[in-house]
Amino acid sequence: MTFVNKTCQIVINGDFFDVLESSSLMAVLVNNGIFNLKANGVSGQKRFGICGMGTCFECEVTLKNVGVRRACLLKTEPGMVVETGMTDG
Amino acid sequence: MGKPTPSRGSKRVIETQVVVVGGGPAGLSAGLILDRGHISVLLIDENSELGGQYYRQRGALSSSSIDNFRPKGTHLVESVKKSKISVLTSTYIFAVSDHEKTLYAFDESTNEVVSILYDFVVVSTGSQELVLPYSGWETIKCMTPGMVSRLFDIDLIEPKQSVVLGGSGPFLLSVASHLLKRGVTVKAIVEYHHPYRIKFISLLTFFFPSRLIEYLSYRKILWENNVSIHSGYQIACAEPQSSGIKSVFQPLNQKSQLSFTSDFLAISYGFSPTIELAALLDIDLNQSNHSRSPDVRLSGKTSKDWVYVAGESAGIQGWRSAKIRGEVAALSIIDSLGTLSLKNQILRFGKTISLMYESLFSKIRIYTFREKEPFRFVPSDSTIVCRCENVTYAEVKKYLNEDWSSASEIKAETRVGMGTCQGKQCGYALNRLCTSPHLEPSNKFTNIRAPIRPLPISALLQLAEDPD
């Protein structure tokens, strides 16, 4: 495992966060108390992932200029712009 | 489609002798053996980092004082990275070609469709936790034990929180002891069956000393932390309250109900193989009333000569077995190419023997946890059956009929299983709703069709540009 002990800045819901590069995005979200990851497309109810391995799609967030991605599969990258609480349509 | 458009720039084509799908214990070890046999390997994983669930890598850490998680896995991942194996992470397979040996993948890091032309495919897509919906399971911080373990062990979230674990299986004990080691408060383990009563079958575990020691070490940690295991209860509902999640467990016999309040609630009923890719590749599946698994021989061979299945996707036996299955499948592929050395033949023989030993242990586990018996599933009207499409049991009930109601019919009438996750979370629940005695086992499952993952429109456009 390569430990890149380098911080980078990412944006979550308009707020800036200094985080370690290549750390788990899920960890960053949860450690900052962000559990409202996705709004259900039918009811609008707030949802958070339940499986942690990419099958439930309940942790989908929007990455600016990239698209909708599962937060549990991602690692932080410099300049990442994350929006949570959106519906998947 | 009309005439093929000349612009095909964004679609990548990769040719490889073997494509290994899934970079967990099985996929990593299969890849390494094939690479040592001078066979070109492409290893694909949906995650941004190799390791799968068991060997999931922690990523950058804020504190260097914490050791890396499961160093053996880190070593395997590093060996793969140093080898000649081509690795594609953040990439998932969504379709297969019917007539050629081609897989279609989507690379999330580049937003590209990748066509993979191969001679052999190793399906090592792992397993997933079995969940049964209960009232309130859509509440934030209600999850599976796998996810709660990931949050505390891999993502290293603040440990001063409490967890209640429920459902069934030995995994609950393993998760509980890992959480306790991190300083998390485990309020209780609530097990559906009574697996921890001493019975004759328990004595057989003496033939598996490493497992017995593992089990005793879990019990020691639980005992030291005063965590009790309540057997014979099932989750009835979860309710968010200001102090946390209130969970209520219903007894399966005449006892009174149990109730807890915790920050996290984690429930699952063991694991089932991830079979989507195996099904798309159209290999034979074993079907019982409540589960489907690929029909795989000890060698990893399936009903199609070029398809091998290894690891948990071949059947639930744990990580030790997964690794061996990966190695055996790789050696079998080398054998079918006619280049298996005498040394490797002996290695394969030895690995096959240890695989049989592991299978024997999993038989004991299945018996101890009565895994062949279906879990009770009595949802309340307000219980959400399908999370993605937000379909409640009250809506599903209208279409349930004793004489028909196959899984496909319930799906078509109610949209259960039609959402983003494509029925992966509610699949077991849907299966359990098909209670008609007239149904063939195959009608209790929905058909698996491409795409097995939701695809962005841009990917479909890239496919449409393909003249084939």
Residue by residue, pLDDT tens for chain B (468 residues) are 333 333 344 579 999 999 999 999 999 999 999 999 999 999 999 999 999 999 998 877 655 556 678 889 999 999 999 999 999 999 999 999 977 899 999 999 999 999 999 999 999 999 999 999 999 999 999 999 999 999 999 999 999 999 999 999 999 999 999 999 999 999 999 999 999 888 888 888 889 999 999 999 999 999 999 999 999 999 999 999 999 999 999 999 878 999 999 999 999 999 999 999 999 999 999 998 888 999 999 999 999 999 999 999 999 999 999 999 999 999 999 999 998 999 999 999 999 999 999 999 999 999 999 888 889 999 999 999 999 999 999 999 888 876 668 899 899 999 999 999 999 999 999 999 888 778 888 888 988 988 999 888 888 888 776 655
Q: Which residues of B touch A3 (CB under 8 A)?
A: 60-61, 64
Inter-chain touch B155–A66, beta carbons under 8 Å: no
Residue A2 located in a structural domain: no
Tokens of A8: 């980078």
Residue A1 located in a structural domain: no
pLDDT of residue B53: 94
Is the Cα torsion angle B400, B402, B407, B412 positive or negative in sign? negative
Task: Give the per-residue SS3 of A5-52.
Answer: CCEEEEEECCEEEEEECCCEHHHHHHHCCCCCCEECCCCCCEECCCCC
Inter-chain touch B425–A50, beta carbons under 8 Å: yes
From the number of C-beta atoms within 10 Å of its C-beta (0-12, 13-18, 19+), residue A11 rates as middle
Residue A66 located in a structural domain: yes
pLDDT of residue B1: 35
pLDDT of residue A88: 62
Residue A56 located in a structural domain: yes
Q: Does domain B131-269 have CATH number 2.20.25.10?
A: no
Number of domains in chain A: 1
What are residue B185's phi and psi, to 5 degrees?
A: -85, 120
Of B77, B78, B390, which is closest to A40 when you measure between CB atoms? B390
Tokens of A54: 């990419």
Closest approach of A82 to chain B, Cα-based (Å): 15
The domain spanning residue A46 has which CATH number? 3.10.20.740
Q: How would you classify the pairing of strands B307-309 and B112-123?
A: parallel
Residue A52 located in a structural domain: yes
Among chain A residues, CA nearest to B110: A66
pLDDT of residue B60: 73
- How many other CB atoms are there within 10 angstroms of residue B305's CB atom? 9
Of B62, B144, B388, which is closest to A57 when you measure between CB atoms? B388
The CATH homologous superfamily of the domain defined by B12-128+272-368: FAD/NAD(P)-binding domain (3.50.50.60)
From the number of C-beta atoms within 10 Å of its C-beta (0-12, 13-18, 19+), residue B456 rates as middle
Of A1, A20, A30, which is closest to B62 when you measure between CB atoms? A20
Among chain B residues, CA nearest to A68: B456
Interchain CB contact of A7 with B (< 8 Å): no
Q: Measured between alpha carbons, how far is A63 from A65 in angstroms, rounded to an integer? A: 6
Helix, strand, or coil (residue B433): helix
Q: Measured between alpha carbons, how far is B128 from B313 in angstroms, rounded to an integer? A: 9
What are residue B320's phi and psi, to 5 degrees?
A: -60, -50
Q: What is the CA radius of gyration of chain B?
A: 23
Of B48, B129, B425, which is closest to A73 when you measure between CB atoms? B48
Residue A33 located in a structural domain: yes
Interface of A with B in 30-69 (CB under 8 A): 30-31, 35-36, 40-43, 45-58, 60, 66-69
Same-fold call for B12-128+272-368 versus B131-269:
yes
**Which domain range does residue A74 map to?**
7-87
Inter-chain touch A57–B420, beta carbons under 8 Å: yes
Q: Measured between alpha carbons, how far is B311 from B55 in angstroms, rounded to an integer? A: 13
pTM of the model: 0.94
Is the Cα torsion angle B278, B282, B286, B290 positive or negative in sign? positive
Of B62, B146, B155, which is closest to A30 when you measure between CB atoms? B155
Q: Measured between alpha carbons, how far is B376 from B392 in angstroms, rounded to an integer? A: 18
Q: Measured between alpha carbons, how far is B372 from B21 in angstroms, rounded to an integer? A: 28
Give pairs for B306-309: CB < 8 Å, separation 24+: B306/B101, B306/B118, B306/B119, B306/B120, B306/B121, B307/B120, B307/B121, B307/B123, B307/B278, B307/B281, B307/B283, B308/B120, B308/B121, B308/B122, B308/B123, B308/B332, B308/B333, B309/B122, B309/B123, B309/B124, B309/B278, B309/B283
pLDDT of residue B43: 98
Give the best residue of B64, B155, B448 to mutate against chain A (max A CB count within 10 A): B155
Mean pLDDT, to the nearest integer, of A37-52?
94
Please report, for chain B, the start and end positions of each structural domain, with discontinuous segments joined by +: 12-128+272-368, 131-269, 377-468
Distances in Å between the Cα of B208 and the Cα atoms of A30, B91, B205, B347, B420 are 39, 38, 5, 22, 42
Inter-chain touch A27–B144, beta carbons under 8 Å: no
Q: Which residues of A touch B57 (CB under 8 A)?
A: 1
Residue A69 located in a structural domain: yes
Give pairs for B360-368: CB < 8 Å, separation 24+: B361/B208, B361/B211, B361/B317, B362/B315, B362/B316, B362/B317, B362/B318, B362/B321, B364/B201, B364/B204, B364/B205, B364/B208, B365/B170, B367/B201, B368/B195, B368/B199, B368/B201, B368/B202
